[in-house]
Amino acid sequence: MAYSAHPSYSGLFLTVEGVDGAGKSSHLDWLADALRAQGKTVVLTREPGGTSVGERLREMLLHEAMDLETETLLMFAARREHLAQVILPALMRGDVVISDRFTDATYAYQGGGRGVSRNKILQLEQWVQGDLQPNLTLLFDLPLAIAAQRLAQGRAQLDKFEQESQVFFENTRAAYLERAADAPNRICIIDSAQSLEATRAQVAHAVLSQLNLNLTAYL
Ligand SMILES: Nc1ncnc2c1ncn2[C@@H]1O[C@H](COP(=O)(O)OP(=O)(O)O)[C@@H](O)[C@H]1O
Ligand SMILES: [Mg+2]
């Protein structure tokens, strides 16, 4: 059954996106804490993963080589479980859900990076989530040379995706930017080549202008 008939919910669904090393994780705890300080109940989660089944799929997805269509299907299998067990129940309760990656990442990585057709991803998206979309997506964007440099400094061990080629990441980044151009009301591009402080200020600005929640006191 698709989610096209899902009841309306009172929560807020936020996602953060961007290539590896773009700076997503660096702002998640701050964002969650700032929203909690505003009285929100926040569920911080990630993809692939976020559930027991999803985390086991994540292990496979990040560390085992597999057929690219298998990879795409497993991403959506993990997503379905995540929606059913975590995201939708939280949104129904009225919570704020912040997910470190969601479906835009599949369009970017499996679509842009690996070349799975957009139409196949669209079919799986409709099957798994119907018309459910995040209320706001923060797309952390920066020149890939900077992302690679930051990853090289910050990470001891790189997963299957983080070890991909420059061409893969160029295509992934381009697909993310294409998504943003197609959904300008949902996806806010954050220039994460800037300092942590300046990047965070952009996040606060996006949350204020899109969701009318003022987090600037916590900057
Ligand atoms: N604005 C920034 N300026 C300098 N270094 C940064 C900035 N944002 C993140 N970093 C560093 O870059 C690395 C990757 O950031 P991270 O938040 O883990 O990226 P992601 O979660 O998108 O892969 C980390 O070591 C982090 O400390
Ligand atoms: Mg991260």
Segment 112-144, tens digit of pLDDT: 999 999 999 999 999 999 999 999 999 999 999
What pLDDT score does 28 carry? 97
Ligand 1 residue neighbourhood (C-beta within 6 Å)? 18, 20-26, 140, 150-151, 153-154, 192, 195-196, 199
Classify residue 218: in a domain, yes or no.
no
Tell how far the Cα of 150 is from the centroid of ligand 1, in angstroms. 6
Query: What single-letter amino acid sits at 67?
Result: D
Specify the DSSP element, H or E, that contains 42.
Answer: strand 42-46
Going across the sheet that includes 96-100, the strands are 42-46, 96-100, 12-17, 136-141, 187-191
Which amino acid residue places its CA nearest to atom 5 of ligand 1? Answer: 150
Structural domain includes residue 92: yes
Tokens 């997963």, located at residue: 159
pLDDT at residue number 172: 98
| Predicted pLDDT of residue 6 | 59
* Distance (Å) from CA 66 to ligand 2 centroid: 22
Least trusted range by pLDDT, from 1-15, 106-120, 147-161? 1-15
* CA-closest candidate to residue 3, choices 133, 136, 105: 133
Ranking 90-94, 107-111, 160-164 by mean pLDDT, the lowest is: 160-164
Q: Are 113 and 171 in contact (CB under 8 A)?
A: yes
Mean pLDDT, range 60-86, rounded to an integer: 98
Q: Which of 16, 15, 21 is nearest to 143 (CA)?
A: 21
User: pLDDT value at position 21?
Assistant: 94
| Residue 153 or 135, more confident | 135
- For residue 154, the model assigns a pLDDT of 83
Say which amino acid occupies 93. R
Query: Average pLDDT, stretch 64-77?
Result: 97
Alpha carbon of 1 to ligand 2 centroid (Å) = 32
Q: Is residue 36 part of a domain?
A: yes
- Which residues make beta-bridge pairs with 42? 96
Please report whether residue 133 resides in a domain: yes
Instruction: Name the residue range of residue 177's domain.
Output: 13-213
* pLDDT for position 208: 96
Q: Is residue 168 part of a domain?
A: yes
Task: Report residue 43's pLDDT band, with 50, 70 and 90 as the boundaries.
Answer: very high
161 CA from centroid of ligand 1 (Å):
16
Q: What is the pLDDT at residue 160?
A: 93
Ligand nearest to the CA of 147: 1
Q: Is 134 inside a domain boundary?
A: yes
What sign does the dihedral 186-124-142-27 (CA atoms) show?
positive
| 3-state DSSP of 48-110 | CCCCHHHHHHHHHHHHCCCCHHHHHHHHHHHHHHHHHHHHHHHHHHCCEEEEECCHHHHHHHH
Whether 113 is covered by a domain: the verdict is: yes
Q: Is residue 8 part of a domain?
A: no
Residue 108: what are its φ and ψ, rounded to 5°? -75, -50
CA within 13 Å, CB half, 88: 18
Checking if the pLDDT of 3 tops 80, the result is no
The CATH number that applies at residue 149 is 3.40.50.300
Q: What percent of the chain has pLDDT over 90?
A: 91
**How many domains does one find in the chain?**
1
CB 208 within 8 A of CB 214: yes
Question: Ligand 1 pocket check: which of 24, 137, 144, 150 to mutate, most ligand atoms within 8 Å of Cβ?
Answer: 150
Name the closest-CA residue to atom 8, ligand 1.
Answer: 23
Would you state the pLDDT for residue 7?
63
- Tell whether the model's pLDDT for residue 82 goes beyond 80: yes
Q: What pLDDT sits at residue 2?
A: 41
Choose which residue among 17, 26, 155, 200 to substitute to test ligand 1 binding: the one with the highest number of ligand atoms within 8 A of its C-beta. 26
